[in-house]
């Protein structure tokens, strides 16, 4: 059973982390005892793992994952220095703080009278209007929304397609440098080792992970990183219009904090299923996660491309197309199958510690 499906929707998700497998096992056993004691039943369990190549976490298609993240202003990470395009206001990811437009995201609240122990702070208002009733208590502050998606990854199909597409493209173009690794990288928008196609167009090894490249200014026509590749569709950076600063400002309203965890499990027929539990945090699911998914990743019309969706994760019947532009020509990959199947998922509220204390105070 998948983590959240229409057949068996879930009310709550608990992600357990521990330093060692033994600690994890003990943690899960304790958690199950407590939840069963509270009258809950477990609908699904997914064994998650950080798959590593060297020190870096990789997902099943073979790419380093977890590189490009927004950096929240005011955090220790931001203090270490960050490219302005990745610096975002805390309110994009947390209730109770101002967002990129200077407003407080709308947060779940409770009547002040219910918070008898005075655990929650008052809802912060964007403007004080004289004569308004006192604000309710902010149940959401320091919490956020969590989006979860369980994706099965058809790894053999992906590898096989990239191999065949590379043979055909190398043959048609007479370019022996086109191989399986090249096709996969063009579809994702980075090399497998995490280096960018923009700054490492020939895939020289040892360049390392980089993330401060601009797509519009450095690769306007997608000759290095194709316009329709996964990273370009999920964060077009400065590339959707002429005015770089405006594009980045608009893009900042559509960013998410991501965590991916790989899983391998046997399905009911005994077949091994490989996949990714995709999780992301955002204060406005519609404007952030859903916008990325619908308007960019799944859209058949994106940045001048027509009849294509995200080559790596996009949904399609099987006959997908993917354009790889270069100075001389456009290589069009055809009959791109669906490499990812959504098995489950859901939208959840992730409470702060004070929200949890408040709930306990109401028992
Ligand atoms: C099986 C499913 C998926 C796989 C295998 C996958 C894989 C990857 C990889 C390898 C990267 C590049 C490394 C990085 O920057 O972390 C990446 C970047 C990213 N992905 Fe995905 N992804 C998946 C699903 C999704 C979904 C559903 C979304 C959102 C709708 C998404 C949004 C992003 C974003 C925003 C980036 C960063 C782009 C950037 O800022 O450069 N991904 N993904």
* Token pair 């532009």: residue: 325
If you measure from the C-alpha of residue 259 to the centroid of ligand 1, how many angstroms do you get, rounded to a whole number? Answer: 9
Identify the pLDDT of residue 238.
97
List 301's β-bridge partners, or say none: 306
Identify the pLDDT of residue 100.
98
Q: Which atom of ligand 1 is nearest to the CA of 289?
A: 30
From CA 280, how far away is CA 43, in angstroms rounded? 21
Pocket perturbation via mutation, ligand 1, pick of 60, 61, 68 by most ligand atoms within 8 A of CB:
68
Largest CA distance in the chain: 75
Identify the pLDDT of residue 1.
58
Where does 168-256 show beta strands of DSSP type E? none
Identify the pLDDT of residue 134.
82
* Closest protein CA for atom 8 of ligand 1: 65
| Torsion-angle region of 59 (φ positive above 0: left; ψ -120 to 50: alpha; else: beta) | beta
From CA 178, how far away is CA 60, in angstroms rounded? 22
If you measure from the C-alpha of residue 188 to the centroid of ligand 1, how many angstroms do you get, rounded to a whole number? Answer: 8
* Token pair 């992906």: residue: 158
Identify the pLDDT of residue 212.
97
In our burial notation (b when 16+ CB lie closer than 10 A, e otherwise), range 290-322 reads ebbbeebbbbeebeebeebbbbbbbebeeebbb
Residues at CB less than 6 angstroms from ligand 1:
59, 61, 63, 65-68, 149, 151, 153, 188, 190, 230-231, 234-235, 256, 258, 276, 278, 289, 292-293, 297, 313, 340
**DSSP collapsed to 3 states, 54-105:** CCEEECCCCCECCCCCCEECCCHHHHCCCCHHHEECHHHCCCCCCCCCCCCC
pTM higher than 0.85 for the full model?
A: yes
CA neighbours closer than 13 Å in the CB half-sphere of residue 127: 3
Identify the pLDDT of residue 302.
96
- Tens place of pLDDT for every residue, the chain, 363 residues? 577 777 888 999 999 999 999 999 999 999 999 999 999 999 999 999 999 998 999 999 999 999 999 999 999 999 999 999 999 999 999 999 999 999 999 999 999 999 999 999 999 988 878 888 888 999 999 999 999 999 999 999 999 999 999 999 999 989 999 999 999 999 999 999 999 999 999 999 999 999 999 999 999 999 999 999 999 999 999 999 889 999 999 999 999 999 999 999 997 889 999 999 999 999 999 999 999 999 999 999 999 999 999 999 998 887 899 999 999 999 999 999 999 999 999 999 999 999 999 999 999
CB atoms near residue 38 (< 10 Å): 7
Strand 87-88 relative to strand 71-72, pairing: parallel
If you measure from the C-alpha of residue 350 to the centroid of ligand 1, how many angstroms do you get, rounded to a whole number? Answer: 21
From CA 75, how far away is CA 92, in angstroms rounded? 14
If you measure from the C-alpha of residue 230 to the centroid of ligand 1, how many angstroms do you get, rounded to a whole number? Answer: 7
Identify the pLDDT of residue 227.
98
């Amino acid at each position: 059973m998948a983590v959240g499906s229409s057949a068996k929707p879930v009310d709550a998700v608990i992600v357990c982390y521990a330093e060692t497998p033994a600690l994890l096992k003990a943690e899960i056993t304790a958690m199950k005892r407590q939840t069963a004691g509270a009258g809950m039943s477990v609908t699904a369990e997914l064994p998650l793992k950080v798959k590593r190549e060297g020190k870096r976490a990789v997902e099943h298609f073979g790419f380093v994952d977890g590189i490009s993240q927004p950096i929240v202003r005011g955090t220790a990470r931001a203090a270490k220095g960050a490219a302005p395009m990745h610096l975002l206001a805390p309110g994009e990811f947390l209730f109770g703080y101002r967002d990129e437009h200077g407003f407080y995201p709308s947060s779940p609240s409770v009547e002040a009278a219910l918070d008898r122990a005075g655990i929650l702070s008052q809802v912060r208002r964007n403007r004080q209007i004289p004569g308004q009733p006192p604000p309710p208590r902010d149940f959401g502050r320091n919490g956020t929304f969590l989006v979860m998606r369980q994706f099965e990854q058809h790894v053999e199909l992906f590898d096989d397609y990239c191999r065949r597409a590379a043979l055909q493209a190398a043959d048609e173009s007479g370019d022996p440098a086109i191989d399986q690794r090249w096709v996969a990288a063009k579809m994702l928008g980075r090399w497998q080792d995490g280096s960018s196609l923009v700054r490492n167009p020939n895939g020289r090894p040892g360049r390392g992970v980089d993330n401060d490249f601009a797509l519009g200014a450095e690769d306007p026509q997608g000759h290095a990183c194709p316009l329709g590749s996964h990273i370009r569709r999920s964060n077009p950076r400065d590339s959707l219009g002429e005015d770089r600063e405006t594009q980045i400002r608009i893009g900042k309203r559509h960013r998410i904090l991501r965590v991916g965890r790989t899983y391998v499990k046997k399905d009911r027929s005994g077949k091994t299923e490989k996949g990714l539990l995709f999780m992301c945090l955002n204060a406005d699911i519609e404007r952030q996660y859903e916008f990325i998914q619908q308007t960019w990743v799944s859209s058949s019309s994106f940045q001048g491309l027509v009849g294509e969706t995200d080559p790596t994760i996009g949904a399609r019947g099987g006959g997908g197309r993917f354009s790889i532009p270069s100075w001389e020509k456009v290589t069009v990959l055809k009959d791109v199958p669906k490499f990812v199947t959504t098995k489950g998922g859901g939208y959840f509220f992730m409470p702060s510690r004070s929200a949890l204390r408040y709930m306990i105070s109401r028992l």
